[in-house]
Chains A and B, each alone.
Chain A
Amino acid sequence: MSAEGTGFRRWWSVTVATIAAVGALAALADAARAETGVVIERATGSVQLVDNSKRLPLARVEGLGDLSHASLVFSQDARHVFVFGRDGGLTKVDVAAAKVVGRVVQAGNSIGGAISRDGRIIAVANYEPGGVKLFDAATLALLSEIPATYGAEGKRAKVVGIADAPGNRFVFSLFEAGEIWVADVTDPRQPKVTRLANVGREPYDALITPDGRHYIAGLFGEDGLALVDLGNVDAGAQRILANYGRGVEKLPVYKMPHLRGWAVAQGHAFLPAIGRHEVLVVERVTWREVARIPVHGQPVFVMARPDGRQVWVNFAFPRNDTVQVIDVDRLALVETLKPGRTILHMEFSADGEEIWVSARDDDRVVIYDTATFKRVAELAAKSPSGIFFQWRAKRIGM
């Protein structure tokens, strides 16, 4: 054995070890970022399961009914998703097995749903018949129903803005009634409901802050939002940002904005102004307006990056080809992007380094680096709308 041979062998073994180590590190990094996501394909009643770290499609699951307006929640272990379809369908999908494992058509027309903090109960918000139904998350068996009746004639209101809240509660709003209800579902067969009346005209959607403390409903019928302190429900709802339009008539609204807990960043809440090309910024302790940021159109989703440094905004018809980015420190726009035709939804990766954007009429999902604003990848999808990553599983109100 020559000295030369030994040298080569040593070099070779170091090289192999290095390659192995790099490979292992890459695999670890992959595993750390590996997340399953679900993309709603609204026109075909299907969902696409995707690997968020590899940016690859995994499988398509079909047979979920009418998903023209759809949302979903993850089970706490992220093994399952519960998909709420427009046609009243509640579908349970096993993400690992990529198949439907349960489905009930539980109403004529639905808008969304939530999962209880303990993961045992699914609540579905229905338009027709107006109310909330509670289901066993394991079996999808109906546990009870909360009809959204209001007024002397006992009419039923459309239910919007449902969210899970700490203490086995669900909170939701009644569109026609102008009420917010807090349901304690400790005994899901006999929920105890606290009704807050006169919260404002036509609540259209709502959010719960990431700490579970405050519930905020946006109002369509007037300028302002309704705020409920979930630590003191008996105090009722308080109006915030009242008269933010300052008497100027609002523009026609061709799509209702959406609200969720991702609106909160660095002590501020970023909220869409109804019928205006503005994002409203309120300070969280005082709930006073601190800024309003002029934007490209009427905001639909106003979403903070997980680190709270940026807020991304998409817009309603007919200005729905654009996405804008607000710098939270400066409270100013820093970027305008044109990802494609009809931008319906956005979702950050768990670390916020990427954002996935659905371009419905281009049949694709476009992925951006949020630091450089560069397109890093695209994924084919049929009429994509909502995108949901599994980091939502552990989050309140998501």
Chain B
Amino acid sequence: MRVVTRRVDRVLAGAMGVLASVSLFAAEPVNPRQAELTHLVRQDCGSCHGMTLKGGLGPALTRDALRDKPAESLVVTVLYGRPGTAMPPWRSFVSEPEAAWIVKQLQEGTLGER
């Protein structure tokens, strides 16, 4: 039952994502790039945050862990890192709209959790 609900959620989120990319956020990465970003998050962010994003040397990036965090500050963290911690800047590898897309997916729990 829970599985079904979650699947419906995902379909809805996906549909909304498509609508959004058509109308509101023209800069949102297109599909092949989304696959690359998903790979980047799972594999390379996963070096520290775990491939399933449940945490490692870095904190968990699951939907529950990020729910109450403001998206804008998470985008800044992705792009510029967090000085004084092990979190490096990723702006050489992702653009700001791409970072925003990653944060959105993380907060929706669609990238790493299985």
Q: Which residues of A contact B (CB under 8 A)?
A: 42-43, 66, 68-69, 86-87, 108-109, 111, 127-128, 158, 175, 202, 204, 220, 252-256, 317-318, 342, 360-361
Q: Which residues of B contact A (CB under 8 A)?
A: 43-44, 46-48, 50-52, 54-57, 81, 86, 88-89, 93
* Given known A-B contacts A69-B50, A254-B88, A109 and B56 have beta carbons under 8 A apart: yes
Closest CB of chain B to A382's CB: distance in Å?
A: 13
Q: Which residues does chain B contribute within 8 Å of A111, judged by CB atoms?
A: 56-57
A317 touches which of B47, B54, B81 (Cβ 8 Å): B47
B55 touches which of A43, A109, A255, A256 (Cβ 8 Å): A109
Q: Which residues does chain B contribute within 8 Å of A256, judged by CB atoms?
A: 47-48, 57, 86
B43 near A342 (CB under 8 angstroms)?
yes
A253 touches which of B43, B54, B88 (Cβ 8 Å): B88
Q: Which residues does chain A contribute within 8 Å of B46, judged by CB atoms?
A: 68
A68 touches which of B51, B86, B93 (Cβ 8 Å): B51
B54 touches which of A42, A43, A109, A318 (Cβ 8 Å): A109
CA distance A282 to B44 in the complex (A): 30
The 3 tightest CB contacts between A and B, nearest first, are A68-B51, A252-B88, A255-B47
B57 touches which of A87, A175, A361 (Cβ 8 Å): A175
User: Could you list some 8 contacts between A and B, CB below 8 A?
Assistant: A66-B50, A69-B56, A86-B50, A109-B54, A127-B56, A252-B81, A253-B86, A255-B47
CA distance A256 to B49 in the complex (A): 12
Q: A42-B51, A317-B44 are in contact. List 5 more A-B contacts (CB 8 A).
A: A68-B52, A87-B54, A127-B57, A128-B55, A253-B88
